[in-house]
DNA sequence: TAATTAATCAGAAACAATTACTGATTTAAT
DNA sequence: ATTAAATCAGTAATTGTTTCTGATTAATTA
């Protein structure tokens, strides 16, 4: 399967917002009976439209009080260097997001840690240990105004 | 409730990765019987450690092929101006993330759209219509190397 | 246009999970 | 040591999921 009809789209929009909805709830919301709804949800998962179901936890409540954005520039852009960097950075559990950017910098990282001390030791002992890093620029996040996993589908 | 014990932490680490695990699966994984596991999961939700359960959908498969980071600087930082901006930007469905930053720029946005054309009309018709914007700088994302909702709890 | 095929749906029945409850055990505090 | 509180395992009732069948609709071809 490859293309979504309007019912699929409504299902995805619902489950992106709240996947604790049961098949029954979804079927009621979209005006279809349980079994075809069940089949559609399964198909959406099987075909990779739904990657996974996850619980979103409150960052502050688990003690990750500091969010930092860090831009990274590498000394060289050889395939070898890029691969090493990407593999290493992906395995760092503090790093939530790694984006490869067009423009000035090579990468942007989003990092969640307990506090400034933790961030300092993260940069010192782990991030700056990766070879071929030419420049790091860290910006502290003062406030997380929006952080949404759901993308509205039209 | 306010503090997590080691069992709660293991539950959160599991459900952050995969919330399609049933109570039975979780209880088996942590070596507890079903009922206390059930109670703990409910408590974690009730007390706000778990904010919500969501389905993560594949961005490319739903046609959001372009991811853009956009830094925003405002002309002034009066409370009024900030509030207007934050409220307006939060309601834009294309905007997944809004961070208020310390440093050069005031805000960083993460925006998902279909293509460059869509981004252009988004900036023209919606983003730049917000009052008191002094500067916008857009960086296209070449590659999303990592994008993780789970934060490992220790 | 009519016949045929494929797809999608509703409903029911079997199955499995969740939820609530009870009593027992452990832990903490006096 | 005794009491009180918290946490646990097990069970039973409820509710939800999953599978299956037949019917209806939509699409395709002659």
pLDDT in tens, B50-92: 999 999 999 999 999 999 999 999 999 999 999 999 999 999 9
Of residues B48, B62, B101, nearest to A69 (C-beta): B101
Helix (H) or strand (E) holding B53: strand B50-57
Residue B52 lies in a domain: no
Q: Same domain, yes or no, for A82 and A105?
A: yes
Cβ contact (<8 Å) for B19 and A67?
no
Per-residue model confidence as pLDDT tens digits over A64-110? 999 999 999 999 999 999 999 999 999 999 999 999 999 876 899 99
Residues A22, A66 within the same domain: no
CATH number of the domain that A88 lies in? 3.30.70.920
| pLDDT at position B103 | 82
Domain count, chain A: 2
Is residue B66 domain-shared with residue B40, that is, in the same domain? no
pLDDT in tens, B95-143: 999 999 998 768 999 999 999 999 999 999 999 999 999 999 999 999 9
Taking the Cβ of residue A148 and every Cβ of chain B, the question of whether any pair is shorter than 8 Å is answered with: yes
Are A131 and A68 in the same domain? yes
Among A11, A1, A50, smallest CA distance to A32 is for A11
Question: What single DSSP character describes residue B7?
Answer: H
Q: How many CB atoms lie within 10 A of CB A69?
A: 20
State the DSSP code for B104: S
Based on the fold, state whether residues A35 and A100 are members of the same structural domain.
Answer: no
Tens-place pLDDT, residues B7-17: 999 999 999 99
Does some domain include residue B11? yes
CA distance A24 to A34: 6
Residues A96, B65, B60, A79, Cα dihedral to 10° = -60
Tell whether B145 is covered by a domain. Answer: no
Give the Cα separation of B76 and B132 in Å (integer).
7
Q: Is B11 on the interface with A (CB under 8 A)?
A: no
Let me know: does A48 contact B61? Beta carbons within 8 Å.
Answer: yes
Binned at pLDDT 50, 70 and 90, residue B1 comes out as: low
Residue B89 sits in the same domain as residue B37: no
Shared domain check, B86 and B29: no
B21 domain-assigned:
yes
pTM (predicted TM-score):
0.95
Same domain, B99 and B122: yes
Q: Give domain status of residue B1, yes or no.
A: no
Q: What is the percent of chain A with per-residue pLDDT over 70, rounded to a whole number?
A: 99
Give me the DSSP letters along A46-114. HTTSEEEEEEEEPTGGGT--EEEEEEEEES---HHHHHHHHHHHHT-TTEEEEEEESSS-SEEEEEEES
* CA distances, A18 to each of A15, A132, B75, B98, B148 (Å): 5, 42, 38, 21, 18
pLDDT over 90 at A150, yes or no: yes
Mark whether A134 and A73 lie in a shared domain: yes
Instruction: Give the DSSP H or E segment for B134.
Output: strand B133-147
Chains A & B: contacts with CB separation below 8 Å = 197
Q: Assess if residue A149 is contained within a domain.
A: no
Residues B64 and B42 in one domain: no
Q: Which residues of A touch B93 (CB under 8 A)?
A: 151-152
Inter-chain touch B15–A152, beta carbons under 8 Å:
no
CA distances from A102 to A23, B72, B138, B141, B144 (A): 42, 18, 10, 6, 12
Using a 7 Å CB cutoff, list residues 29-48 of B near strand D: 32-36, 39-40
The whole-angstrom separation of Cα B67 and Cα B77 is: 27
A12 touching chain B per CB within 8 A: yes
In a shared domain, residues A37 and A108: no
Full domain range(s) for residue B136: 60-140
In a domain, A92, yes or no: yes
- Cα–Cα distance, A86 to A107 (Å, whole number): 9
pLDDT tier at B27, thresholds 50, 70, 90 = very high
Torsion of CA B53, B59, B63, B69, to 10 degrees: 110
The H or E element spanning position B56 is strand B50-57
Instruction: Verify if strand D has an atom below 7 Å from the CB of A129.
Output: no
B65 and B136 housed in the same domain: yes
B35 part of a folded domain: yes
List the CATH number of the domain containing A29.
Answer: 1.10.10.10
């Amino acid at each position: 399967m490859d293309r979504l009809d309007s019912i699929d789209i409504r299902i995805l929009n619902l489950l992106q917002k709240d996947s604790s909805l049961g098949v029954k709830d979804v079927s009621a919301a979209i005006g279809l009976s349980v079994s075809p709804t069940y089949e559609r949800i399964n198909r959406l998962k099987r075909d990779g439209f739904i990657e996974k179901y996850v619980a979103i936890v409150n960052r502050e409540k688990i003690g990750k009080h500091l969010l930092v954005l860090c831009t990274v520039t590498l000394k060289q852009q050889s395939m070898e260097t890029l691969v090493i960097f990407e593999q290493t950075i992906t395995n760092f559990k503090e790093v939530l997001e790694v984006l490869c950017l067009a423009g000035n910098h090579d990468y942007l990282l989003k990092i969640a840690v307990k506090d400034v001390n933790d961030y300092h030791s993260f940069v010192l002992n782990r991030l700056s240990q990766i070879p071929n890093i030419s420049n790091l620029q860290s910006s502290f996040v003062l406030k997380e105004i929006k952080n949404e996993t759901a993308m509205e589908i039209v």
